[in-house]
Amino acid sequence: MDYLLIEGGKPLKGSVEISASKNAALPMIMASILSEKSIRFENLPRLTDVDFALRILLELGGKVSMNKEGHHIVADVNFTNDASFIAPYDLVRKMRASISVLGPLLARFGKAKVSLPGGCAIGARPVDLHIMVMEKLGAKITVDDGYILATADKLKGTEIIFPFVSVGATQAAMMTSAMAKGTSVIRNVSMEPETVELGHMLNSMGAKIEGLGTDTLTIHGTDSRTLPGPNKPIKVIPDRIEAGTFAVAAAATKGKVEIKNAVSEHIEILLYNLRESGVCVENTKDGFIVDASNTDKIKPVDIITSPYPGFPTDLQAQWMAYMSVANGNSTITEKIFENRFIHIGELFRLGARIKYSGNQAFIQGVDKLKGAPVMATDLRASACLVIGGLVAEGVTEIHRVYHIDRGYERIDQKLSELGAKITRNRE
């Protein structure tokens, strides 16, 4: 197993190129189940989760070819009626996002058997809303032996009001109701850029989805098993969480970094909070610059995570590492996931002073963090520890970095290029 060794205390300087978005790519790959013709993905990020999503389609019987081109993967996906409608436990358990095959398989085959994904490090993460979506569209659902079995001769347009925003359930509703007979109106939906991108892809394939980027979608179902498919290759948007992670790392180390191939509007709230903390943020043609080289003391800033355009839960852990070295006290309220504070114990090991109760963390900024061996517990928690390690005096060892490789492309290399002392080693 690999681990990262970071000698902290060096400000990050230079420029970094952001990769394509993992969270946009995953549902887009699953949506290719609905396509009549082969789909080319032009710029998939080289991440284990993306690899895994493509492997799911392959194991289901789809034809997938992958080629490395520069830092990207170019993939051609062709899903035909010979494929299977069963996604077994071994495929689904490794990545929760695999649940998003349920709707497309049901729409394409009239039946789908998908293993329940199970819990994960950041909470129980149920799939009840995914099931509710399928039932509302007319599917019969049974849950047996750890599997969801969904059947529907015909999916029918419906009205759905989500009790709270779910990214995955919104995306499931889009992919499935696009194929139903009649119109669906879906309220309180995810407005995340990744969801909007999925909508654009589905529309380019022949779906009729209106209201993308608002809280209500109107979807005119095509009453078909497949969509014709897109007329040009699919290009995935830049990863706003990766961009945000580098932005916070630049601020925390009091460095100056140009973040290229990033869409600042996608993380407006993070950039706003960085400015509030006393850092300069300036937009550029294809991204933005974070300049903390003249920041004397980092001002504490409270955050509350919420669905887009609120503060992303996927940047909460990184923000906590940053606030650990702020000049004063701050709070973080986690509103999306229960149990998403596992990184606190590890930040402690670096000398952070944090208490928490329920979904609120109270951070007392300290002058310095100190390097120590720590353990990554999930994807974003590992990014938080990398930031902690970059700030800390001395050496930090981060174990179980396979978590970080799920969602950050070449993070050690990109950080090295910014002047960080970071190496990847084998246990």
- The binding site for ligand UD1 (CB under 6 A) comprises 23, 26, 96-97, 123, 125-130, 166-169, 194, 313-314, 336-337
Nearer Cβ to ligand UD1, position 209 or 315? Answer: 315
Q: Give Cα separations from 1 to 50, 353, 382, 389, 420 (angstroms).
A: 20, 30, 15, 19, 22
Using CB positions, name the residue nearest to ligand UD1: 168
Residues 125 and 121: their CA atoms lie apart, in Å, by 10
Nearer Cβ to ligand UD1, position 254 or 343? Answer: 343
Least separation in angstroms between residue 192's CB and ligand UD1 is 6
Least separation in angstroms between residue 337's CB and ligand UD1 is 5
Least separation in angstroms between residue 86's CB and ligand UD1 is 21
Nearer Cβ to ligand UD1, position 317 or 418? Answer: 317
Nearer Cβ to ligand UD1, position 130 or 403? Answer: 130
Least separation in angstroms between residue 270's CB and ligand UD1 is 13
Least separation in angstroms between residue 385's CB and ligand UD1 is 18
Nearer Cβ to ligand UD1, position 279 or 381? Answer: 381
Nearer Cβ to ligand UD1, position 96 or 370? Answer: 96
Question: Where in the sequence numbering do the catalytic residues fall?
Answer: 120
Least separation in angstroms between residue 111's CB and ligand UD1 is 20
